[in-house]
């Protein structure tokens, strides 16, 4: 995890919990502009370069955080933000932001975006690995949905064993951090949207190990190879490198905070309209990462009311084949 320590400003910042703020339920730019000014120590991290956060995203993330603090729903001194318009390249400084105003620290880590899907012969709303073009909130769409979230409970699940050496197998336990949303993100729980490590056990076979607490009735356990995909895509969740995930989840366990993901549907539609008119996002007074906008052409938001019936029908027309038995390890 990249950690940036900003120097303390000359004037000590007032406690966020003591500031009375009136923020609209959806933190759009107009409402965000009415909040307290970004403190000097944090302002030095604002920009569109590597390791920086774009001003509209920080403004909205702070507005959401302050609103939840004023409502008594958040006591955590840190909050999160994500810029899903940036390239998914861990080498460029990342696009998931951890802001701790109490300790005046600002961190940037990598994070994956939703892969989307290609329903062949019907509709393609898939995303490339580097830049996200498609966004949406439909069930089973595997798309990222921008907007306001709260972190909630965690659940740790056994994903299988992997070999850490020639003689030792290690159980991989992955923790999932549930998100709850509002507005267009309100179905986050139903979609099982949250945060987790970008890692899985792949290439599984079944190994005889009746002494394992994870053995099935026949005494077998899944064994495979641990695969980390910090630079890859997700099923719509926010995924982090394993070391970053452990630190992020520990920060909010039993101490929830806010997460703001950019862009929302209104941003996507506005940028798409500007592109259609031959304008750049900045010329239209909007924000989108330049390199990704050049790559994708124009973004698209898929409403659940439009996309969900298509996905349901596709499932009916293309039923999943019977599951094949997992092979026994040789």
List the structure tokens of 205.
Answer: 């076979």
Please state, in angstroms and rounded to a whole number, the distance separating the CA atoms of residues 20 and 205: 57
Percentage of the chain exceeding pLDDT 90: 82
What is the model's pLDDT at position 35?
45
Q: Tell me the pLDDT tens digit for each residue of 159-176.
A: 999 988 777 899 999 999
In this model, does residue 303 exceed pLDDT 60?
yes
Q: How far apart are CA 42 and CA 264, in angstroms?
A: 23
- d(CA 128, CA 37) in angstroms, rounded, equals 36
Task: Give the integer Cα–Cα distance in Å for 216 and 207.
Answer: 10
pLDDT in tens, 50-81: 999 999 999 999 999 999 999 999 999 999 99
Whole-angstrom Cα distance, residue 85 to residue 194? 19
- At 202-256, the pLDDT tens digits run 999 999 999 999 999 999 999 999 999 887 888 899 999 999 999 999 999 999 9
Does the pLDDT at position 89 exceed 80? yes
Q: Which residue has the higher pLDDT, 21 or 108?
A: 108
CA 258/CA 230 separation, integer angstroms: 22
178, 154 in Cβ contact below 8 A? yes
Q: What is the pLDDT of residues 247-289, one digit of tens each?
A: 999 999 999 999 999 999 999 999 999 999 999 999 999 999 9
Task: From 16, 43, 55, 80, select the one nearest 260 (Cα to Cα).
Answer: 80
pLDDT band at 16 (very low <50, low <70, confident <90, very high): very low
pLDDT of residue 29: 43
The C-alpha atoms of residue 288 and residue 85 are separated, in whole angstroms, by: 6
Question: What does the block give as tokens for 241?
Answer: 């490198």
- In degrees and rounded to multiples of 5, residue 130 shows phi and psi of -85, -50
Cα(313)–Cα(17) distance, integer angstroms: 49
What average pLDDT does the structure give for the chain?
89
């Amino acid at each position: 995890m990249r950690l940036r320590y900003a120097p303390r400003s000359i004037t000590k910042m007032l406690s966020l919990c003591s500031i009375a703020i009136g923020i609209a339920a959806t933190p759009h730019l107009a409402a965000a502009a009415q909040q307290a000014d970004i403190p000097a120590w944090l302002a030095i991290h604002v920009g569109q370069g590597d390791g920086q956060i774009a001003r509209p995203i920080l403004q909205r993330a702070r507005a959401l955080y302050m609103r939840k603090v004023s409502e008594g729903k958040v006591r955590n001194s840190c909050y999160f933000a994500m810029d899903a318009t940036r390239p998914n390249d861990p080498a460029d400084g990342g696009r998931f932001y951890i802001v701790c105003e109490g300790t005046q620290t600002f961190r940037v880590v990598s994070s994956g975006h939703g892969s989307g899907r290609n329903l062949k012969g019907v509709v393609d709303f898939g995303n490339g690995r580097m830049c996200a073009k498609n966004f949406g909130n439909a069930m089973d769409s595997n798309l990222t949905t921008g907007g306001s979230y709260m972190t909630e409970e965690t659940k740790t699940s056994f994903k299988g064993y992997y070999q850490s050496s020639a003689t030792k197998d290690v159980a991989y336990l992955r923790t999932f951090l549930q998100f709850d949303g509002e507005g267009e993100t309100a179905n986050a729980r139903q979609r099982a949207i949250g945060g987790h490590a970008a890692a899985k056990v792949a290439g599984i076979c079944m190994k005889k190990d009746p002494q394992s607490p994870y053995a099935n009735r026949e005494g077998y356990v899944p064994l495979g190879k641990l695969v980390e995909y910090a630079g890859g895509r997700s099923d719509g969740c926010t995924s982090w490198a394993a070391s970053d995930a452990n630190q992020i989840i520990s920060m909010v366990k039993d101490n929830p905070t806010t997460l703001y993901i950019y862009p929302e549907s209104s941003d996507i539609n506005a940028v798409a309209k500007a592109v259609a008119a031959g304008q750049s996002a900045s010329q239209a007074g909007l924000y989108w990462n330049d390199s990704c906008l050049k790559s994708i052409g124009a973004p698209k938001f898929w409403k659940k009311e439009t996309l969900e019936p298509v996905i349901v029908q596709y499932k009916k027309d293309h039923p999943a084949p019977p599951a094949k038995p997992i092979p026994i390890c040789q």
